[in-house]
Amino acid sequence: MYGRSGIEPLLSAFARQLFMIMKTKYAFEYGIMRGMIFFINLLPLPVILGFARIVGWIVWVVYPIRLQVAYSNLSTVCPDMGHPEKIRLLRDVYLQFIRAFGLIFILHRKQIFQMIQNAEITGREKLEKALSQGKGVILTTFHGCWFEAYFAWFNFNTIPTTLIYQQQSNPLSDAYFIKQRHRYGTSLQHVHSQVGIGHYQEALKQNRVLIVSLDQDFQKGTVIPFFNRPLHCAKGAGILHLRTQAPVMTSVYYVKNGVLHIDLDDVPLPAYDAVTEENIQQICSSSIKPYEAFIRENPEQWFNLFHRLWTKKDYPQRVPRTFRQIFL
- What is the tally of structural domains in the chain? 1
Tens-place pLDDT, residues 81-118:
999 999 999 999 998 888 887 777 888 888 899 999 99
Query: Out of 92-101, 128-137, 234-243, 295-304, which region has the weakest mean confidence (pLDDT)?
Result: 92-101
Query: Out of 25-39, 95-109, 189-203, 280-294, which region has the weakest mean confidence (pLDDT)?
Result: 95-109
At 15, the pLDDT band (50, 70, 90 cuts) reads low
Contact 291, 214 (CB under 8 A): yes
Predicted local confidence at residue 11, as pLDDT: 46
Main-chain dihedrals φ then ψ at residue 318, nearest 5 degrees: -150, 140
96 vs 315: CA distance, rounded Å: 23
Residue 124 domain-assigned (yes or no): yes
Residue 77 domain-assigned (yes or no): no
Domain around 182: 105-306
282 vs 196: CA distance, rounded Å: 22
Is the confidence at residue 40, as pLDDT, over 90? no
- Average model confidence (pLDDT) across the chain: 90
189 vs 187: CA distance, rounded Å: 6
CA 14 to chain centroid: 36
Query: Out of 18-27, 76-85, 168-177, 253-262, which region has the weakest mean confidence (pLDDT)?
Result: 18-27
The packing angle between helices 45-62 and 83-101, to 10°, is: 140
At 212, the pLDDT band (50, 70, 90 cuts) reads very high
At 178, the pLDDT band (50, 70, 90 cuts) reads confident
Residue 311 domain-assigned (yes or no): no
Query: Out of 4-13, 17-26, 202-211, 268-277, which region has the weakest mean confidence (pLDDT)?
Result: 4-13
Predicted local confidence at residue 120, as pLDDT: 98
At 10, the pLDDT band (50, 70, 90 cuts) reads very low
Predicted local confidence at residue 13, as pLDDT: 58
Q: Taking residues 149-178, what's their average pLDDT?
A: 91
Enter the pTM of the model. Answer: 0.89
155 vs 262: CA distance, rounded Å: 14
19 vs 245: CA distance, rounded Å: 44
Residue 229 domain-assigned (yes or no): yes
CA 228 to chain centroid: 22
Residue 140 domain-assigned (yes or no): yes
49 vs 103: CA distance, rounded Å: 10
Contact 192, 220 (CB under 8 A): no
Is the confidence at residue 12, as pLDDT, over 80? no
Residue 258 domain-assigned (yes or no): yes
210 vs 206: CA distance, rounded Å: 10
Q: How far apart are the first and last CA of the chain?
A: 70
Residue 33 domain-assigned (yes or no): no
Residue 4 domain-assigned (yes or no): no
